[in-house]
Amino acid sequence: MLIVPLVTKEIAPSLTPLIQLSGLSEWTDEKVKNLLLIPGVMGYLGLDDNDIVGCVLGKFDPFQSEIYLLCVHPLARNKGLGSHLLESFEAELQKRRREYNAQSTDLGGPTEELQVFLEVRVSNQLARRLYEKLGYGCMRIRSNYYKDVAKKDPLLNTYEDATVYQKSLVLKPTAKD
Ligand SMILES: CC(C)(COP(=O)(O)OP(=O)(O)OC[C@H]1O[C@@H](n2cnc3c(N)ncnc32)[C@H](O)[C@@H]1OP(=O)(O)O)[C@@H](O)C(=O)NCCC(=O)NCCS
């Protein structure tokens, strides 16, 4: 299994089957394509014999980075790929934040922490366990967040809530520091 950075936005159509297979139906072809056009959006792929079996997508922002989606092919799950993708993504965020600090003229001096946020369905136990294992803490619940009709509560007339997770990444010193 190989983890490689996502280097081209042309990859979008190749990601959709994996994303749909992972049950993240809100991420359509068009939505992924548009996401990859946003400055700062980046990601990693998990490859098995050149097949894409895992993917993480998110956005670097020096103050509020985000993870938009993480998925692993059902046949490749529970072998550590999800965790490795997330760790690769976090390492890249730290690298970009160090580069930002090096160029910053902020009079307060560089911040040694980087905040990362993500949202996940409250019902998604597997993903929540993974995020919590990697140090993400539940910050708040966003009520009525996922507007998919199939999962609407017919009695309460409500949609599924999202758990908002947050992690502070402390910038690790590099070998040259
Ligand atoms: C969530 C997901 C990415 C995890 O990927 P993965 O490659 O299986 O993750 P890992 O192998 O690194 O597992 C990490 C942790 O997740 C939990 N986990 C994963 N699969 C599990 C399973 N079948 N049973 C119990 N716990 C499990 C465990 O806590 C595990 O930690 P451990 O290794 O100490 O047991 C994958 O299940 C997936 O693609 N789900 C569908 C898409 C999704 O819901 N994405 C998240 C929302 S964006």
Amino acid (1-letter code) at residue 50: N
The answer to whether residue 177 is domain-embedded is: no
Residue 9 lies in a domain: yes
pLDDT of 174 reads: 60
Helix H or strand E encompassing 121: strand 113-121
* Total of domains in the chain: 1
Atom number in ligand 1 closest to CA 120: 47
In a domain, 175, yes or no: no
CATH number of the domain where residue 72 is located? 3.40.630.30
Give the pLDDT score at 108: 62
Query: What is the extent of the structural domain holding 76?
Result: 2-170
User: Which of 139, 125, 134 has its CA nearest to residue 56?
Assistant: 134
Give me the tens of pLDDT residue by residue for the chain, a chain 177 residues long: 899 999 888 888 899 899 989 988 888 888 999 999 999 999 999 999 989 999 999 999 998 999 999 999 999 999 999 999 999 999 999 999 999 888 877 666 667 889 999 999 999 999 999 999 999 999 999 998 887 766 777 777 788 899 999 999 988 766 555
Look at residue 65 in the predicted model and tell me its pLDDT: 97
Mutation pick for ligand 1 pocket among 78, 84, 88, 164 (CB with most ligand atoms within 8 Å): 78
- The reply to whether 176 falls in a domain is no
Residue 100 lies in a domain: yes
| Ligand 1 atom showing the smallest separation from residue 78 Cα | 11
The answer for 134, left when phi > 0, alpha when psi is -120 to 50, beta otherwise, is alpha
Contact of 136 with 118, CB cutoff 8 Å: yes
**Is the pTM here over 0.75, yes or no?**
yes
Surface-to-core class of residue 48, CB atoms within 10 Å of its CB (0-12 exposed, 13-18 middle, 19+ buried)? middle
Answer whether residue 53 is part of any domain.
yes
